[in-house]
Amino acid sequence: MKVKTLLLGAAASFALAPAAMAERGSDGHVNIIYWQAPSIMNPYLSGGTKDIEASSLVIEPLARYDETGALVPWLAESIPTVNNGGVSEDLTTITWKLKEGLKWSDGTALTANDAKFTADYCMHPEGGCASASFFEGVESVEAIDDLTLKITFDSPKPNPYNVLVGAQSPIIQAAQFADCLGAKAPECTDANFNPIGTGPFVVDEFKPNDVISLSANPNYRDPAKPAFATMTFKGGGDAVSAARAVFETGEMDYAWNLQLAPDVIANMEEGGMGKAIVGFGPLVERLEMNLTDPSPDLPADVRSTRKAPHPFLSDMDVRKALSMAIDRELLVEVGYGQAGKVTCDLVPAPDNYAAKNDYCVGQDIEGANALLDEAGWVDSDGDGIRDKDGVKLSILYQTSTNAVRQDFQALIKQWWGEIGVETELRNLDASVFFGGDPGSPDTFQKFYADVEMYANTFAGTDPQQYLAAYRCGNEPKPESQWQGENINRFCNEEYDALLDEFAQTGDIEKRGEIAIELNNMLTKDSYTIVPLVHRGRVSGQSNTLGGHALNVWDSELWDAADWYRIEE
Amino acid sequence: MTDEIQAIEALQDNAPLKPHRSHSAEVWLQFRQHKGALIGGAFIIFITLFVLIGPWIWQVDPGKLDIRAKDYRPIYTAIWDSEARVSWAHPLGSDQLGRDGLANMIYGGRTSMAVGWAAMLLALFLGASVGVLAGYFKRLDGPLMRATDLFLSLPILPLMLVAVTLFRQPLRTMFDSPEAGMFILIVGVIGITSWMHTARIVRGDILALKEREFVLAARSAGTRSRGIIMRHLLPNVISPIVVSATFGLATAIITESSLSFLGVGFPSDFPTWGKMLADAVPRMTEYPERVMLPGIAISLTVLAVNFLGDGLRDALDLRIRGR
């Protein structure tokens, strides 16, 4: 028995040996391709995912979300909670403890002062910080001692884990950025391109909008990591060529965000050099119903604003019928394959906040027809299109230019045709559609259409801000330069009251219940938002790259320190 | 007496050496010599009939989705691949949503040809007019050529995007259908932004021609400017005009497809050759025919117009006739 245990122990230690014996820089070079090229290595000056993720290789936050959406301590010793005393009983302060012995890549020590400086940097009134929303409600940030950081909020924060948590708000070095506060921030080119960090890699050369050369950080806290000595981070091209580079030619080890039709990806995977990996965050492809009238005959300050209700989409039966006519299983099959799931929810993840509705599963053309008949929408003039009181069910349906979205448009147009609804399709260049230019009539905020389709998601794991977008008054309108997140112009007093309650609630289970209720008010009970597909994020990973778990809650490169080369 | 009559008859030319031929017959004779032009002309007639009469013969709705019948290969694939998924119901295959390939080729060709021809004719008319006027009338030369420079210096694609943004909605309401409004807009925008090269070439030729002896002779005989332009100058610049026309047709078809690609052209479910091509690119390796068929159709049409233009130039040019 004893011998057997010993033998087993020996065998186990042999099996573990390669991992234990791995040393920094032993696995050579790794290539990453992002088909959108990073233009800066400072996430505080750019909201672009590409910039945030590239900089996450170098600079790190106090805590991160792991691949399951759970918060894990990163530069901090542990996650402060009310139970361990890190968060005060009244939810107004949070106290972080830093790990001991952390060093910047230049060899100096990381202190709580750097964290305090980072907060000052982003909260500077002249700064124009891209992550400013993460620091909302922060009253003060103090460094109690070298390793202790105390953040005080101006009101109770049920979710205090926004400040200096996640890829959007990492800690930067006070010494390096000392002269870059406020309006001077964008002028510090050297610091913005070559930040000194605590992460596994340091920047050797940064070519904006092209390529970044990195090498292993000699002062990284784990002496055995990262396994790669150097890294090339290539930017630019398009999703198709990025996918080819990983799956077919093997030039690249990792490709980010490959939104391609499932048959296209499956076909490329036959190249045998890599595989597609999928992770599900809260990203939902949805139809947004315009509750206001987008008619071009209306004056500019009335069109698509709450002053003019929509002639037929303000009728809930119409919205419901439009949703019932859609075959979501088919949409998933055509557009996303394994990277999509049918969903009826606005918040499909994380688990605690997901309503898991199934009211929209299965197409019901007959039911939709019956519903419209009952509501008085009948084809009275025999042109094949339902009408009521001279108003025709004729829809302008817009989205961004993307092969999968155009396929969806064609399918949905056909189904709506079957229930007597006429549809005109329109697709707009993504940079215009999502550009937010208040002068353009074609932005998704202006919503000069009846129905529009796009995908949206929220950062982190808490949907409070995301659901608060649908507060009455938060809609894009001329007075707000067409900025605002309440795209549907949804307005419901009960909803707003529940939102207020949500913001006061700290208990995680209770929060889940409220979030589900809010979700249902927008979807199941009102069909204001018609969810279609819960979309996963697809990335490409080489067969020889190991140690990676696709993370949709934080930077995709969050575990770059653990990456290693699988020997063939 | 009889001798006298015989003598007079002998003076008569009762058997002409060569039958008299009209101008158009001359042109036709010369045109027939050019084999390429004949084939090109025949192809253009064929493709025009294909897109005009096609829908009566092949009565399939190009927009109809039939997801069960998706991804059929063209029928000819069966020749080398007996396991290919083919069906006589879709002789040119079907796309990823089960839309019939042949019907899309027919309807797409209709739009592409109509846009191409209309925009080309508009550009040709504008370019030739500006070129002739600027070349012939000295006082118009400066302003017209500066206007040409101005148009040349405009970035065309952004200009089109602005025009589409501004005029899409009014035109759509005016014609009560997104397609008709869009057609006018696209033809107008392409026509207005692509006449400049024709104008410059024509002006250059006119400048040289108007100093030639036959023009001077016509002028000294009292011919008015209008007569000189129509009878003496225009027929002599027909060859550069025809050459730019052939380029114009090709550019118009391709510009239309890039507009559709950017999402400012026709609605996404309205087929055109250019858009079929752009849509098929991601699946190019798997279903090459979806790129090849519209691509070949565009290329052949452009090539045919080129040959036709070449033949027409030879036939219309008096200097090389009969050689």
Q: What is the pLDDT of residue A1?
A: 45
Q: What is the pLDDT of residue B13?
A: 63
* Contacts with A449 from chain B: Cβ below 8 Å: none
* Contacts with B262 from chain A: Cβ below 8 Å: 401, 429
Task: Please state the separation of Cα B303 from the chain's center in Å.
Answer: 10
Homologous superfamily in CATH for domain A281-536: Dipeptide-binding Protein; Domain 3 (3.10.105.10)
* Contacts with A442 from chain B: Cβ below 8 Å: 165
Q: Does the beta carbon of B142 lie under 8 angstroms from any beta carbon of chain A?
A: no
Please answer whether residues A447 and A288 qualify as being in contact, where contact means their C-beta atoms are separated by less than 8 angstroms.
yes
By C-alpha distance, the chain A residue nearest B179 is A424
- Averaged pLDDT for residues B263-283: 81
**Cβ–Cβ contacts within 10 Å for residue B134, how many?**
25
Domain positions in chain A are 2-273+543-565, 281-536
Report which of A384, A382, A385 is spatially closest to residue A393, judged by C-alpha positions: A385
Assess whether pLDDT exceeds 90 at residue B26: no
In this predicted model, what pLDDT tens digit does every residue of A420-441 receive, in sequence order? 999 998 888 777 788 777 788 8
Chain A: give the shortest CA distance to residue B56, in Å: 23
DSSP string, A400-418: ES-HHHHHHHHHHHHHHHH
Q: What is the pLDDT of residue B127?
A: 93
Q: What is the pLDDT of residue B237?
A: 86
In this predicted model, what pLDDT tens digit does every residue of A93-125 receive, in sequence order? 999 999 998 999 999 999 999 999 999 988 888
Pairwise CB contact (< 8 Å): A427 & B263: yes
Assess whether pLDDT exceeds 60 at residue A21: no
- Averaged pLDDT for residues B268-278: 84
Widest CA span of chain B, in angstroms? 97
- In angstroms, the CA A85 to CA A94 distance is 9
Chain A: give the shortest CA distance to residue B66, in Å: 9
- Averaged pLDDT for residues B297-312: 84
* Contacts with B64 from chain A: Cβ below 8 Å: 414
Question: Residue A302 carries which side chain, given as an amino acid letter?
Answer: V
Pairwise CB contact (< 8 Å): B282 & A428: no
Q: Does the beta carbon of B288 lie under 8 angstroms from any beta carbon of chain A?
A: no
User: Which residues have C-beta within 8 Å of that of residue B100, sequence separation ≥ 6?
Assistant: B60, B62, B64, B89, B90, B92, B94
> A545-546 and A340-342 as β-strands: parallel, antiparallel, unpaired?
unpaired
pLDDT band at A477 (very low <50, low <70, confident <90, very high): confident
Q: Hey, which residues 225-244 in chain A have their CB within 8 Å of chain B?
A: 240
Assess whether pLDDT exceeds 90 at residue A478: no
- Averaged pLDDT for residues B131-135: 92
Pairwise CB contact (< 8 Å): A426 & B286: no
Residue A148, CA distances (Å) to A62, A96, A383, A496 in order:
12, 6, 72, 37
Assess whether pLDDT exceeds 70 at residue A279: yes
Q: Does the beta carbon of B285 lie under 8 angstroms from any beta carbon of chain A?
A: yes
Q: Which helix (H) or strand (E) holds A280?
A: strand A274-289
DSSP string, A100-137: TT-B-TTSPBP-HHHHHHHHHHHH-TTS--TTGGGGTT
Pairwise CB contact (< 8 Å): B263 & A267: no
> A394-400 and A451-456 as β-strands: parallel, antiparallel, unpaired?
parallel
By C-alpha distance, the chain B residue nearest A442 is B165
What is the side-by-side strand order in the sheet with A138-145?
A: A93-97, A148-153, A138-145
- Across B146-160, B208-222, B260-274, the highest mean pLDDT is recorded for B208-222
For chain A, the distance separating the N- and C-terminal CA atoms, rounded to the nearest angstrom, is: 36
Task: Please state the separation of Cα A516 from the chain's center in Å.
Answer: 19
In this predicted model, what pLDDT tens digit does every residue of B176-202 receive, in sequence order? 777 788 888 888 888 888 899 899 999
Report which of A98, A78, A95, A97 is spatially closest to residue A86, judged by C-alpha positions: A95
Q: What is the pLDDT of residue B3?
A: 63
* Contacts with B263 from chain A: Cβ below 8 Å: 400-401, 426-429, 432
Pairwise CB contact (< 8 Å): A407 & B97: yes
Q: What is chain B's mean pLDDT, rounded?
A: 83
Q: Indicate the DSSP class of residue B72.
A: P
User: Which residues have C-beta within 8 Å of that of residue B78, sequence separation ≥ 6?
Assistant: B84, B86
Q: Which CATH class is domain A2-273+543-565?
A: alpha beta
Q: Which helix (H) or strand (E) holds A424?
A: strand A422-428
- Averaged pLDDT for residues A262-282: 87
Q: What is the pLDDT of residue A18?
A: 45
User: Which residues have C-beta within 8 Å of that of residue A274, sequence separation ≥ 6?
Assistant: A246, A247, A250, A540, A541, A542, A543
User: Which residues have C-beta within 8 Å of that of residue B165, sequence separation ≥ 6?
Assistant: A440, A441, A442, B264
In this predicted model, what pLDDT tens digit does every residue of A443-457 receive, in sequence order? 888 899 999 999 888
**Cβ–Cβ contacts within 10 Å for residue A274, how many?**
26
Assess whether pLDDT exceeds 70 at residue B142: yes
- In angstroms, the CA B209 to CA B204 distance is 9
Question: Residue B94 carries which side chain, given as an amino acid letter?
Answer: S
* Contacts with A443 from chain B: Cβ below 8 Å: none
Q: Does the beta carbon of B207 lie under 8 angstroms from any beta carbon of chain A?
A: no
- Averaged pLDDT for residues B72-81: 85
pLDDT band at A84 (very low <50, low <70, confident <90, very high): confident
Assess whether pLDDT exceeds 70 at residue A301: yes
**Cβ–Cβ contacts within 10 Å for residue A568, how many?**
5
Pairwise CB contact (< 8 Å): B282 & A264: yes
Pick B282's closest partner by Cβ from A261, A410, A414.
Answer: A261
Chain B: give the shortest CA distance to residue A425, in Å: 6
* Contacts with A248 from chain B: Cβ below 8 Å: none
- In angstroms, the CA B243 to CA B201 distance is 10
DSSP string, A468-482: HTTSTT-S--GGGTT
In this predicted model, what pLDDT tens digit does every residue of A212-235 receive, in sequence order? 999 999 999 888 888 999 999 998
Task: Tell me the three state secondary structure of residue A231.
Answer: strand
pLDDT band at A7 (very low <50, low <70, confident <90, very high): low
Q: Does the beta carbon of A298 lie under 8 angstroms from any beta carbon of chain B?
A: no
Pick B263's closest partner by Cβ from A261, A330, A401.
Answer: A401
User: Which residues have C-beta within 8 Å of that of residue A488, sequence separation ≥ 6?
Assistant: A288, A289, A290, A291, A470, A475, A528, A529
CATH architecture designation of domain B29-57+92-316: Orthogonal Bundle (1.10)
Q: Does the beta carbon of A260 lie under 8 angstroms from any beta carbon of chain B?
A: yes
User: Where do the H-state alpha helices sit in B221-287?
Assistant: 225-227, 238-262, 273-280
- In angstroms, the CA B285 to CA B290 distance is 10
Question: Residue A553 carries which side chain, given as an amino acid letter?
Answer: W
Pick A403's closest partner by Cβ from B169, B263, B282.
Answer: B282
For chain B, the distance separating the N- and C-terminal CA atoms, rounded to the nearest angstrom, is: 48
- In angstroms, the CA A490 to CA B172 distance is 29
What are the phi and psi torsion angles at A494 (to 5°)? -60, -40
Residue whose structure tokens are 């096609």: B54
* Contacts with A428 from chain B: Cβ below 8 Å: 263-264
Pick A429's closest partner by Cβ from B169, B173, B262.
Answer: B262
In this predicted model, what pLDDT tens digit does every residue of A516-541 receive, in sequence order? 999 999 999 999 999 999 998 889 99
* Contacts with B279 from chain A: Cβ below 8 Å: 403, 406
Q: Does the beta carbon of A325 lie under 8 angstroms from any beta carbon of chain B?
A: no
Pairwise CB contact (< 8 Å): A425 & B97: no
Please answer whether residues B249 and B302 qualify as being in contact, where contact means their C-beta atoms are separated by less than 8 angstroms.
yes
Q: Does the beta carbon of B96 lie under 8 angstroms from any beta carbon of chain A?
A: yes
Q: What is the pLDDT of residue B31?
A: 81
* Contact pairs from chain A to chain B, CB under 8 Å: 68
Assess whether pLDDT exceeds 70 at residue A397: yes
Q: What is the pLDDT of residue B9?
A: 67
Q: What is the pLDDT of residue A255?
A: 92
Q: What is the pLDDT of residue A60?
A: 93
Q: What is the pLDDT of residue B25?
A: 82
Assess whether pLDDT exceeds 80 at residue B320: no
With left for phi above 0 and alpha for psi between -120 and 50, is residue B12 left, alpha or beta? beta
- In angstroms, the CA B129 to CA A124 distance is 62
Q: What is chain A's mean pLDDT, rounded?
A: 87
State whether the Cα torsion A444-A450-A455-A460 is positive or negative.
positive
Question: Is the peptide bond preceding residue A226 cis, with omega within 30 degrees of 0?
Answer: yes
Q: Does the beta carbon of B81 lie under 8 angstroms from any beta carbon of chain A?
A: no
Q: Hey, which residues 55-114 in chain A have their CB within 8 Å of chain B?
A: none
Please answer whether residues B127 and B195 qualify as being in contact, where contact means their C-beta atoms are separated by less than 8 angstroms.
yes
- Averaged pLDDT for residues B269-276: 85
Assess whether pLDDT exceeds 50 at residue A552: yes
Task: Tell me the three state secondary structure of residue A380.
Answer: coil
Chain B: give the shortest CA distance to residue A303, in Å: 14
Task: Please state the separation of Cα A239 from the chain's center in Å.
Answer: 18
Q: Which of A241-250, B4-13, B94-103 is least confident?
A: B4-13
Q: What is the pLDDT of residue A31?
A: 93
Dihedral, CA of residue B149, residue B151, residue B153 and residue B159, to nearest 10: 180
* Contacts with A260 from chain B: Cβ below 8 Å: 282
Chain B: give the shortest CA distance to residue A474, in Å: 27
- Averaged pLDDT for residues B250-266: 75
Widest CA span of chain A, in angstroms? 91
Pairwise CB contact (< 8 Å): B65 & A410: yes
The 3-class SS string of A51-65 reads HHHHHCCCCCCCEEE
Pairwise CB contact (< 8 Å): A425 & B286: no
Q: What is the pLDDT of residue A402?
A: 80
Pick A424's closest partner by Cβ from B178, B261, B262.
Answer: B178
Chain A: give the shortest CA distance to residue B229, in Å: 46
% chain A with pLDDT above 90? 42
- Averaged pLDDT for residues A534-556: 89
Report which of A243, A282, A263 is spatially closest to residue A533, judged by C-alpha positions: A282
Assess whether pLDDT exceeds 50 at residue B130: yes
- Averaged pLDDT for residues B98-116: 90
Pairwise CB contact (< 8 Å): B63 & A410: yes
Is the ipTM of this structure higher than 0.85?
no
Assess whether pLDDT exceeds 80 at residue A132: no
User: Which residues have C-beta within 8 Å of that of residue B158, sequence separation ≥ 6?
Assistant: none
Please answer whether residues B269 and A412 qualify as being in contact, where contact means their C-beta atoms are separated by less than 8 angstroms.
no
Q: Hey, which residues 393-412 in chain A have their CB within 8 Å of chain B?
A: 400-401, 403, 406-407, 409-411
Assess whether pLDDT exceeds 60 at residue A13: no
Assess whether pLDDT exceeds 70 at residue B30: yes
Q: What is the pLDDT of residue A14?
A: 46
Pairwise CB contact (< 8 Å): A240 & B97: no
Chain B: give the shortest CA distance to residue A57, in Å: 31
- In angstroms, the CA A189 to CA A176 distance is 11
Q: What is the pLDDT of residue A22?
A: 62
pLDDT band at B154 (very low <50, low <70, confident <90, very high): confident
Pairwise CB contact (< 8 Å): B261 & A411: no
Question: Is the peptide bond preceding residue A200 cis, with omega within 30 degrees of 0?
Answer: no
What are the phi and psi torsion angles at A396 (to 5°)? -100, 120
* Contacts with A264 from chain B: Cβ below 8 Å: 282-283, 286
* Contacts with A240 from chain B: Cβ below 8 Å: 281-282
Domain positions in chain B are 29-57+92-316
Q: Which of B32-41, B50-59, B164-173, B287-296 is least confident?
A: B164-173
Please answer whether residues A354 and A520 qualify as being in contact, where contact means their C-beta atoms are separated by less than 8 angstroms.
no
Geometric angle at alpha carbon A445, from A440 and A446, rounded to 5°: 50
pLDDT band at A16 (very low <50, low <70, confident <90, very high): very low
* Contacts with A403 from chain B: Cβ below 8 Å: 279, 282
Q: Which of A20-24, A290-294, B257-261 is least confident?
A: A20-24
Q: What is the pLDDT of residue A96?
A: 93
Q: Indicate the DSSP class of residue A336.
A: T
pLDDT band at B12 (very low <50, low <70, confident <90, very high): low
Report which of A68, A84, A23 is spatially closest to residue A76, judged by C-alpha positions: A84
Please answer whether residues A489 and A291 qualify as being in contact, where contact means their C-beta atoms are separated by less than 8 angstroms.
yes
Q: Which of B42-46, B287-291, B310-314 is least confident?
A: B310-314
